Amino acid sequence: MAHPFETLTPDLVLDAVESIGFLSDARILALNSYENRVYQVGIEDSEPLIAKFYRPQRWTNEAILEEHQFTFELADVEIPVVAPLVHNGQTLHEHAGFRFTLFPRRGGRAPEPGNLDQLYRLGQLLGRMHAVGGTKPFEHREALAVQNFGHASLSTLLEGNFIPKSLLPAYESVARDLLKRVEDVYAATPHQNIRMHGDCHPGNMMCRDEMFHIVDLDDCRMGPAVQDIWMMLAGDRQDCLGQLSELMDGYNEFHDFDPRELALIEPLRALRLMHYSAWLARRWDDPAFPRSFPWFGSERYWGDQVLALREQLAALNEEPLKLF
């Protein structure tokens, strides 16, 4: 059976954009996106638009609109974020069975790893975002938790027979040990779930004209604030301590960070490792994934994963990062 995205042809993309009143110049460029499909579409006598087609059956309409609403709340207090376009009073549109949203084109470059001046400004931006995120909860979007990012990920991998038999005992053993340790740290660490970005890697904090802006809130969810912070850090422990200090100096100007949450950095990293493998497994019926990730399923990949989880288990037994 063909995957739904197989029917999302360039003509259908252009038809969708024109179905809500825009006149395309027929220029279309596919952008780098796997979870959804994203295209730059040329518009007659105007700037190109970005058309995002949502993966079928991933989010409910209510969850997508909740993401849009969060984006507008950020924009309303002048936080630089790429917000969806409102057209005919709507942000979520449908054409030929696909739901889609249009965005203005906003280019930029990712932050430089370890750049302390940039980290200070990124901390300010994250603090402003979390100040808004902490005002109320999401109602239709799931929270980041050990169960859905950890245990459910392991179940997906085991039940789908994605792990080579030669490495299955080793992977399952270290994964279960890791999840038990993650649960223990979570239970012992006070933290508060807020609305946060959820996938705040440097590529989603773009710089243009010396100003950073937030992009791609598709994975926004409830979770601890530190989830949006730890992916900004790079290098060894000493490097991360200096970077963390700059981030927090900027962050705390706008929102109070609970330093006890720093103990969750390594548990969250562990959950991200497992969730990534499970994400590839869950999307394997999408033809784009075997083409783009041909190494998934190889013994080398899973051998590397066993090693990565063992290293992560060791990291969980080290002293967490601290603010000084």
Structure tokens at 111: 């932050």
Residue 256 appears among annotated catalytic residues: no
Within 8 A by CB and 6+ apart from 194, the residues are 130, 133, 134, 137, 222, 223, 224, 225
Catalytic residue among 11, 15, 76, 199: 199
Binding residues for Mg(2+): 204, 216
Strands ordered across the beta sheet of 49-53: 24-30, 37-43, 49-53, 98-104, 93-95
Q: Which residues are annotated as a binding site?
A: 204, 216
Give catalytic status of residue 216 as yes or no. Answer: yes
Question: Which of 11, 177, 216, 285 is labelled catalytic?
Answer: 216
Active site positions, annotated: 199, 216
